[in-house]
């Protein structure tokens, strides 16, 4: 009988995607893996073949506050998990799994969850987040070092988007949004990139909030793609040009090449797209990174990390990746 374990990941969309290789490594080791995630990210885990059951933690509404912590810990206690893995370094997550009585609790040595762990794994800023998380699984079974996302688009959604996104040339995705203001390259710059590539290709605008985009060969899907649809649409892209955001991680997990624009954050934190990508950033500033996620406003009030990056730089890197793809073909 396989061991039943839990992965607790209630962070943002991109963090959820980067947890999939850990989940698949645990599943390959013979474990049944359930996941606790926050509301709105469920379909990432439901689209992964390594996940057995997905449990939603609505920490802003139904599961808010102390009562929410108690209710979730009581629910988890009934499932008799032999072990829990905590890639998110959250005090609340650690407390919930401790109250749930899960005997073995594995997580990182740093962060709020460390107070509740029975097994603490070193956290190395110099490594990618995927590699850091796989350290959780390496002591458990073979094959843990193999990176597999197994993010599978819904077949029905995929069929529909193939018809809707058919057009001339390559299919280029643009993801101009981010939860954090200082991670957002100016919208007018993204529009210049979209206009340039739409001359010979089909451009699709992606994101959760509605953007006002118009133009020939530009398909605006912003605000119109629930997560399951977003996964299917991203899987069809030849290239994505993006801020540091969740869409970037979905695309890279699906094997799509990515050009990512970094502002307040830096690649050295370990949250770059996995696989083939190009980073465009302003390396001349000593104030970067100004925080792990990027603050709401530039602490220096100049926002040079984004404003100094020109559309021509991004267009050049995007063209280079597309040409590399053609040479491989």
Asked if residue 124 belongs to a domain, the reply is yes
Asked if residue 175 belongs to a domain, the reply is yes
Q: What is the pLDDT of residue 143?
A: 64
Token digits for 4?
A: 């039943």
Asked if residue 148 belongs to a domain, the reply is no
Residues 169 and 65 placed together within one structural domain of the fold: no
Of 161, 253, 173, the residue nearest 207 (C-alpha): 173
Residues 169 and 309 placed together within one structural domain of the fold: yes
Q: What is the pLDDT of residue 329?
A: 46
Residues of the chain with pLDDT under 70: 1-2, 139, 141-143, 325-329
Exposure on the CB side of residue 113, measured as CA atoms within 13 A: 27
Asked if residue 235 belongs to a domain, the reply is yes
- DSSP letters along 84-111, please? EEE-S--HHHHHHHHHTT-SEEEEESSS
Residues 193 and 311 placed together within one structural domain of the fold: yes
Asked if residue 133 belongs to a domain, the reply is yes
Asked if residue 222 belongs to a domain, the reply is yes
Asked if residue 153 belongs to a domain, the reply is no
Residues 164 and 301 placed together within one structural domain of the fold: yes
Q: Are 304 and 283 in contact (CB under 8 A)?
A: no
Domain boundary among 138, 173, 192: 138
Residues 129 and 168 placed together within one structural domain of the fold: no
Residues 218 and 163 placed together within one structural domain of the fold: yes
pLDDT digits (tens, 9 = 90+) for 156-210: 999 999 999 988 899 999 999 988 889 999 999 999 999 999 999 999 999 888 8
Give the 3-state secondary structure of residue 8. strand
Q: What is the pLDDT of residue 214?
A: 83
CA distance 191 to 189: 5
Residues 163 and 133 placed together within one structural domain of the fold: no
Residues 202 and 132 placed together within one structural domain of the fold: no
Domain boundary among 77, 108, 138: 138
CA distance 246 to 265: 14
Residues 100 and 189 placed together within one structural domain of the fold: no
Residues 63 and 165 placed together within one structural domain of the fold: no
Residues 116 and 178 placed together within one structural domain of the fold: no
Domain boundary among 76, 108, 138: 138
Q: Which domain holds residue 115?
A: 3-138
Q: What is the pLDDT of residue 212?
A: 82
Asked if residue 22 belongs to a domain, the reply is yes
Q: Which CATH number covers residue 82?
A: 3.40.50.2000
Token digits for 60?
A: 């802003």
Q: Are 177 and 243 in contact (CB under 8 A)?
A: yes
Structural domain tally of the chain?
2
Residues 94 and 235 placed together within one structural domain of the fold: no
């Amino acid at each position: 009988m396989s061991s039943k374990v839990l992965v607790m990941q209630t962070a943002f969309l991109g963090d959820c995607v980067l947890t999939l290789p850990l989940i698949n490594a645990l599943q390959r080791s013979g474990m049944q893996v359930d996941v606790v995630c926050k509301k709105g990210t469920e379909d990432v885990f439901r689209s992964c073949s390594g996940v057995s059951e997905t449990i939603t933690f609505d920490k802003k509404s139904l599961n808010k506050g102390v009562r929410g912590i108690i209710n979730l810990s009581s629910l988890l206690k009934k499932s008799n998990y032999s072990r829990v893995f905590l890639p998110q370094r959250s005090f609340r997550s650690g407390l919930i799994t401790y109250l749930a009585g899960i005997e073995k609790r594995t997580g990182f040595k740093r962060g709020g969850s460390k107070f509740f762990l029975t097994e603490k794994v070193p956290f190395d800023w110099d490594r990618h987040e995927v590699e850091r998380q796989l350290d959780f699984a390496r002591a458990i079974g073979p094959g843990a070092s193999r990176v597999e996302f197994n993010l599978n688009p819904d077949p029905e959604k995929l069929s529909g988007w193939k018809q809707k996104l058919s057009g001339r040339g390559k299919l280029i995705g643009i993801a101009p949004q981010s939860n954090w203001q200082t991670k957002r390259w100016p919208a007018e710059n993204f529009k210049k990139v979209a206009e340039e590539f739409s001359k010979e290709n089909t451009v699709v605008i992606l994101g959760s909030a509605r953007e006002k985009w118009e133009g020939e060969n530009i398909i605006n899907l912003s605000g119109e793609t629930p997560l399951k649809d977003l996964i299917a649409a991203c899987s069809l892209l030849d290239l994505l040009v993006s801020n540091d955001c969740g869409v970037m991680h979905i695309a890279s997990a699906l094997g799509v090449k990515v050009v990512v624009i970094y502002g307040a954050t830096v690649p050295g934190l370990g949250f770059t797209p996995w696989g083939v990508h190009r980073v465009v950033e302003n390396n001349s500033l000593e104030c970067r990174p100004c925080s792990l996620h990027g603050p709401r406003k530039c602490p220096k009030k100049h926002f040079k990390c984004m404003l100094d990056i020109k559309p021509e730089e991004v267009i050049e890197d995007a063209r280079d990746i597309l040409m590399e793809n053609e040479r491989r073909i």
